[in-house]
Structure 1
């Protein structure tokens, strides 16, 4: 691996991504993340425009938690829109690092492209900063956490991967791809953490409890799972259906074991898919 300012920025970025997820290391995490973004700016991975979008996103949420009534509603709405744009990489100013360029993990697999993103994960960092104290308060013991992960994971693995096999979306194909460590690091810290903070922690947990206060917790769970499915439109109807089912499982894990349970359920499911089945999916047949 070539060691340069970009490599150093990503070492700091991964370290900060982990530290910011825990209450006792939140400040240290932000110190490391700010260093990472400074190095990324020096390496031209992010511009002043990109930094401006991140500051606007952070400011919107920080203001939202301090307001009430229509102002809070409007600010949460603005944060939601900015978050979606960051998730979809629609905001300018980011030159995310390409690490897998149309790679075929198996001959029958669709090409896989992966970037190390500076835009999308920021959403998770600011959410942990604002709501981490709420999420940290739910700390199940080891047995409860294991059950909260195992039961949803078994269910969605059986349903999603079984359905994917029946739809000829994937094949059984166990293997150990090259650079799997980089995929795992990215998938845990920049995908699972970020997506669970937004969908389960923020939409299902924070907003869901406010909007559907006193009603069944399954209402925000299913609505959030539906939004999670819609977020996977680029994969077509099959992927949207599978993402919805998986989202239900992640929401179940969140309700039973909190943020850590949903993150690990999400990550372990992705690991099963990556190592044991066609990844990301079978190539389209013409």
Structure 2
């Protein structure tokens, strides 16, 4: 049931590949125009292929209006309806995160498959809805762009990523939820593309660059870190109590990486943990 990345139809993987390539470019100001061009091309290709219906195009238009509103506030100051862009974003966010906004053709790459005999079935998609949410926040909220990549981001991302992976994956092994299972299936490159543009960029933009940053401004860095990690754990509640605890612990690690190196560091830490989990251990968990 495995598919190689090169064996997938281009109409399925090209939009997500363009979105994944856009992510690192967006993190650095000098390459940001290239990043926006790649992201726009990704959605353009998807639209031309018919993967974006009328409701999805309406979501793109709404995202543009939210971005315009946020940027106008940054220039004109807090006069007027300052609550409108964040309110609109807050209403749009859960619908997109839960894949409930109609019109997006999130192509399934892999049907439910056991990667190892003892693993739970696993499937994944090339999502087009959730990246829009992260792109909207990144485009509209100036503090997030300013903290995209701080000096020392590479060391912070690798260091906190390695420590977080050791703690979280080690705890998963100790709890019996994970076991040694080295692998790199043929669809590994497609999984990596989906991870970069559809999981890591989305979750770190929202939870660290958005939620943790906002909480830290109001409550201080430590409370912001702890509360954002707690929320990150709770949104994984569908996976059971152990996943909630491990996700919250991971959120602490990603949050510390963000404090020291910005969004780039948090993303690198997150991607490193996910790569180690996918390539070396039971994925997603033992049945």
User: What TM-score does the superposition give when structure 2 sets the normalisation length?
Assistant: 0.86
Name the CA distance, whole Å, in 2 between partners of 1:265 and 1:2.
29
Name which of 33, 36, 48 aligns with 1:42.
Answer: 48
Deviation at 1:150, TM superposition (A): 4.0
Deviation at 1:193, TM superposition (A): 1.6
Aligned to 2:250: 246
Aligned to 1:260: 264
Aligned to 1:149: 157
Deviation at 1:188, TM superposition (A): 2.1
Aligned to 1:92: 102
Give the 3 Å change call, closer, same or farther, for CA 16–140 of structure 1 in structure 2. closer
Deviation at 1:240, TM superposition (A): 1.4
1:100-137 per-position Cα deviation (integer Å, ceiling 9, x unaligned): 1102110111111100000101122223323354114x
Residues 127 and 194, structure 2, Cα contact 8 Å, conserved in 1: no
**How do 1:142-221 and structure 2 match up within 5 A?**
145-146=154-155, 148-205=156-213, 207-212=214-219, 215=220, 217-221=221-225
- Asked if 1:134 is matched to 2:146, the reply is yes
Name which of 105, 115, 131 aligns with 1:121.
Answer: 131
Relative contact order (alpha carbons < 8 A, sep ≥ 6): 1 or 2 greater?
A: 2
Name the CA distance, whole Å, in 1 between partners of 2:122 and 2:99.
17
Residues 26 and 129, structure 1, Cα contact 8 Å, conserved in 2: no
Deviation at 1:200, TM superposition (A): 0.5
Residues 57 and 83, structure 1, Cα contact 8 Å, conserved in 2: no
Residues 58 and 126, structure 1, Cα contact 8 Å, conserved in 2: yes
Deviation at 1:57, TM superposition (A): 3.3
SS at match of 2:82: helix
Deviation at 1:251, TM superposition (A): 0.2
Q: Unaligned 5+ residue runs, structure 2? A: 1-6
- Asked if 1:108 is matched to 2:114, the reply is no
Give the 3 Å change call, closer, same or farther, for CA 44–134 of structure 1 in structure 2. same
Name the CA distance, whole Å, in 2 between partners of 1:13 and 1:104.
28
SS at match of 2:111: strand
RMSD: 2.3
Name which of 32, 55, 65 aligns with 2:61.
Answer: 55
Structure 1 stretch displaced more, 91-100 or 31-40: 31-40
Give the 3 Å change call, closer, same or farther, for CA 69–87 of structure 1 in structure 2. farther
Q: What is the total number of aligned residue pairs between the two structures? A: 275
- Asked if 1:222 is matched to 2:233, the reply is no
